[in-house]
Amino acid sequence: MKPTWLGPLLRSLLPPTAVGLLLGLIDGDYGWSLAIGLATYLAWHLYQLIRLHQWLKTYQPDEPPPDGHGLWGEVFDGLYSIQRRDQRVRGRLQAVIDRVQESTAALKDAVIMLDAEGNLEWWNRAAETLLGLKTPQDSGQPITNLVRHPLFKTYMAQDNFKDALELPSPLNDRLHLQLQITRYGNGEQLMLVRDVTHVRQLEQMRKDFVANVSHELRTPLTVIAGYLEPLLDNVEDVNPRWRRPLQQMQQQAERMKNLLDDLLLLARLEASDSLQDKQPVAVEPLLQAISRDARALSGEGNHQILLEADPRLELQGNEAELNSAFSNLVFNAVKYTPAGGEIRIRWWADPAGGHLSVQDTGIGIESRHLARLTERFYRVDASRSASTGGTGLGLAIVKHALIHHHGRLEIASEPGKGSLFTCHFPTTQLATRRELGNAS
């Protein structure tokens, strides 16, 4: 293939060669005349090259390249065409950027751009209103220097921003903000901040309503149960036609009492995000008592309930809350495991922390339900709760009790093969009886 540069090179060398030969014809010395012609031509090229270098060295986007003739004219014209094309592209990009900035500036939610180190690069007006950022003096500052809440610093230090964070506004404690961070590009971060004060107020109203109604219903329910109890104690004196209705009334009254108790417990757990009273809890005796209650609940079901627990391993927390969480998991396993099935309870520790698992050979749960199991009143199947007498609040209680103990619940299940519920606790929540004894 013939080189594409050969033709322009020959054409550019032809004029100085012709001039040198013409001068040689006049003075009779072709060598010197050709050498002078070529040297002059090279000096002209060097001059054009210096002009190009100077233009590139002091380049301004709006400054056109120098004028030229011949081959250098084509070079300068090509550069000028590229420059104009880049200017048009920059203009379109700048228009898009301006529109994006105008639209984000008009948002009520704060939009904040951070570099890979968490330093401020750009933010809209809502960020100044919600977080108190100031333009331009805060530009380049670490966001953790301006939002100093401990939860926010912990959130920024983690690598996983899957879950949003809620915290009070640095400007006003009565404002509740929700923050969500998304990574993009080369580690840069986009932070969205939303005012969720109204949502929190509605949620608090809902919690207060449920707690107040639960308290108010306990009194009439106690009266009803109080009248039913002596009637059923002397059932032989009751008209036979009323015996079955009275027994059903007592069963439903007991079910309503369990529901109210769970609602009040859940309301108390949701009222605080942390423990108010923390003591070392001996988990192994607690699980022994829960296992005995589970065998009594099984009754004629004859479930095999196996317990494997480290007797030395203790958990810092509230015994009543842990008892509610663990018993809900174990009792659920009994309710949803067919007669003769196996339920295995295990309590152990490893370098990652402490773990309590409850595994059954029950009916299992489809994967599409797993993410919502800890929602209050969520039903996988309404007929299940009717047959087992569940309130639909057990796993919600488990979730909030674990939050109080800095734990989390992991659920794995497969229809027809049973379920595995595992509570994970950080090492900071653990202690052993020997360590506690030495400390005392």
| pLDDT at residue 425, rounded to an integer | 93
Are 326 and 290 in contact by the 8 Å Cβ rule? The answer is yes
Q: Clarify whether residues 69 and 146 are in a common domain.
A: no
Report the range of poorest mean pLDDT among 31-40, 129-138, 315-324: 31-40
Predicted confidence (pLDDT) per residue in 349-395, tens digit: 999 899 999 999 988 888 888 888 888 777 776 555 555 556 678 88
> Residue 61: phi, psi to the nearest 5?
-55, -30
Are 284 and 414 in contact by the 8 Å Cβ rule? The answer is no
Of residues 25 and 172, more confidently modeled: 172
Range among 190-199, 205-214, 272-281, 376-385 with highest mean pLDDT value: 190-199
pLDDT tier, 1 (very low <50, low <70, confident <90, very high otherwise): very low
Write down which residue in 166, 197, 228 finishes a domain: 197
pLDDT tier, 348 (very low <50, low <70, confident <90, very high otherwise): very high
Q: Clarify whether residues 51 and 16 are in a common domain.
A: yes
Q: Can you give the C-alpha Rg of the chain in angstroms? A: 39
Sole residue written with tokens 């919502």: 372
Q: Clarify whether residues 183 and 162 are in a common domain.
A: yes
In a domain, 236, yes or no: no
In a domain, 363, yes or no: yes
pLDDT tier, 440 (very low <50, low <70, confident <90, very high otherwise): very low
| pLDDT at residue 275, rounded to an integer | 66
Sole residue written with tokens 């100077």: 54
**Tokens, residue 222:** 């106690």
| pLDDT at residue 358, rounded to an integer | 94
> Residue 306: phi, psi to the nearest 5?
-110, 135
Q: Clarify whether residues 109 and 86 are in a common domain.
A: no
Rounded average pLDDT over 197-201: 87
Residue 140: domain span: 104-197
Q: Clarify whether residues 422 and 345 are in a common domain.
A: yes
Q: Clarify whether residues 310 and 424 are in a common domain.
A: yes
- pTM, two decimal places: 0.60
Average pLDDT, the chain: 81
What is the percentage of the chain residues whose pLDDT exceeds 90?
16
CATH value at residue 336: 3.30.565.10
Rounded distance between C-alpha atoms, residue 305 and residue 345, angstroms: 8
Q: Clarify whether residues 192 and 126 are in a common domain.
A: yes
In a domain, 208, yes or no: no
Q: Which residues contact 64 (CB under 8 A, 6 or more apart)?
A: 80, 83
Q: Clarify whether residues 118 and 84 are in a common domain.
A: no
Q: Clarify whether residues 315 and 403 are in a common domain.
A: yes
Write down which residue in 43, 61, 91 finishes a domain: 91
| pLDDT at residue 387, rounded to an integer | 54
Q: What burial letters (b/e) apply to 68-78, b meaning 16+ CB within 10 Å?
A: eeeebeeebee
**How many distinct structural domains can be found in the chain?**
3
Three-point CA angle 412, 418, 422, nearest 5°: 40
Rounded distance between C-alpha atoms, residue 321 and residue 390, angstroms: 19
Q: Clarify whether residues 119 and 74 are in a common domain.
A: no
Write down which residue in 182, 197, 212 finishes a domain: 197
pLDDT tier, 17 (very low <50, low <70, confident <90, very high otherwise): low
| pLDDT at residue 436, rounded to an integer | 39
In a domain, 256, yes or no: no
Predicted confidence (pLDDT) per residue in 262-271, tens digit: 888 887 787 7
Predicted confidence (pLDDT) per residue in 144-176, tens digit: 888 888 888 888 887 778 778 888 888 888 888
| pLDDT at residue 48, rounded to an integer | 74
Q: Clarify whether residues 331 and 352 are in a common domain.
A: yes
First to last CA, the chain: 91
| Strand partners of residue 142 | 119
CATH value at residue 159: 3.30.450.20
Predicted confidence (pLDDT) per residue in 274-322, tens digit: 666 678 899 999 999 999 999 998 888 889 999 999 999 999 988 988 9
In a domain, 84, yes or no: yes
Q: Is the pLDDT of residue 434 over 60?
A: no
